[in-house]
Amino acid sequence: MVASLLLWLLGLFTGANDGGSLRESIIYGFSVSQNWLGSLLALPIYLLIAYILNSLVILESRTSWLAFLFLYLLSMNFFLHGNLWLAISLLLFILSITILSSCIDYDGVQRRIYAIFLFFALSAIFFPQLIYLLPIFFLYLYISKILKFRNLLAALLGIATPLWLLFGTAYISPQLKAFTTPLLSRVTGLFVMKTALSLTVAQLLFMSIEVMLLIHSVWLLIATSNPAKPIMRRMLSLFIITNAYLWILSFFSVNNFNMFFVWRLPGVALMLAYVATVKVTKLSNIYFVILNILLLIVAFLGLWN
């Protein structure tokens, strides 16, 4: 926690978050500059996300590690500190994943599924990039064996309800077209793939660490099977699959690279905490120290980017 706070303050005083295209985040004509105010507003949102992650109790022991590691990783990426819109998008992303992971098969599950996809559609109105997560959502429902016909209809109805109300009202009231027109253009732009991606050394190193953690977490998840904790394993699998999906998608959607990057941070923190706690040995401690050294190198490289 102390290291996270020091790195956060270092990013503010060095101006490391004043870079390039991230100087302003613009959504539907509203802009929030990256400055002290943006950092002060983003910080409580990130703390709330850490609290939500801590309340999931995915790990069997040292559950507070997940929140601490998330803030630790966040503080190392200086461009995120003052970006309020990225913080809000991450909050909606985590809430969507958290609500989805709590969905289990029982009588009346259709109401919960409807509410989940209703919230998801409302969030996607402000951040259309969430639409990319629809395959993951339906895959999770299929793996959880609750993707039945009635549940599928409830999900589709939940997605359609806010969109029908929004565009129906825009049809009656032309003033809303100033909001719906940019929304349609942004949704259309999601399907235009751009692969010309120029990565910094810090980004390449961080993404390489992600791959290492991903492979190691999958191996541990398979090797340490515990049938007594199916919900915990299902939630862990959801985060791992989502991270792998967003990692690959980052190379095909260059315009959303930074948003996908921040969405992967909770999953990276979870995999790091899982690797460090599932089997505590001398070798695992050395492995954890090496990963921390590499992450600190990422932080210091970010100061010059």
What is the per-residue pLDDT for 28?
37
What is the per-residue pLDDT for 15?
46
Return the structure tokens found at 60.
Answer: 């069997």
Position 303, amino acid: L
DSSP label at residue 197 = -
- For residues 7-17, one letter each, b for 16 or more C-beta atoms within 10 angstroms of the residue's C-beta and e for the rest, the string is bbebbbeeebb
What is the per-residue pLDDT for 202?
79
Residues 6 or more apart whose CB falls under 8 angstroms from that of 168 comprise none
Burial class (CB in 10 A: 0-12, 13-18, 19+), 148: middle
Q: What is the pLDDT of residues 63-113, one digit of tens each?
A: 677 888 888 888 777 667 667 888 888 888 888 888 887 777 666 788 888
User: Using H for helix, E for strand and C for coil, what is the string for 117-164?
Assistant: HHHHHHHHHHCHHHHHHHHHHHHHHHHCCCCCHHHHHHHHHHHHHHHH
Domain ranges of the chain: 2-302
What is the per-residue pLDDT for 291?
83
Look at residues 258, 143, 117 and name the one whose alpha carbon lies nearest to residue 199.
258
What is the per-residue pLDDT for 244?
92
For residue 197, the tally of other CB atoms under 10 A from its CB is: 12
Low-confidence ranges of the chain (pLDDT < 50): 13-34, 228
Helices (H), 224-255: 230-249
CB 284 within 8 A of CB 216: no
What is the per-residue pLDDT for 97?
85
Facing residues of 88 across strands? none
What is the per-residue pLDDT for 33?
42
What is the per-residue pLDDT for 20?
36
Q: Measured at the alpha carbon of residue 279, what is the angle toward residues 278 and 285, in degrees to the nearest 5? A: 110
pTM assigned to the model: 0.79
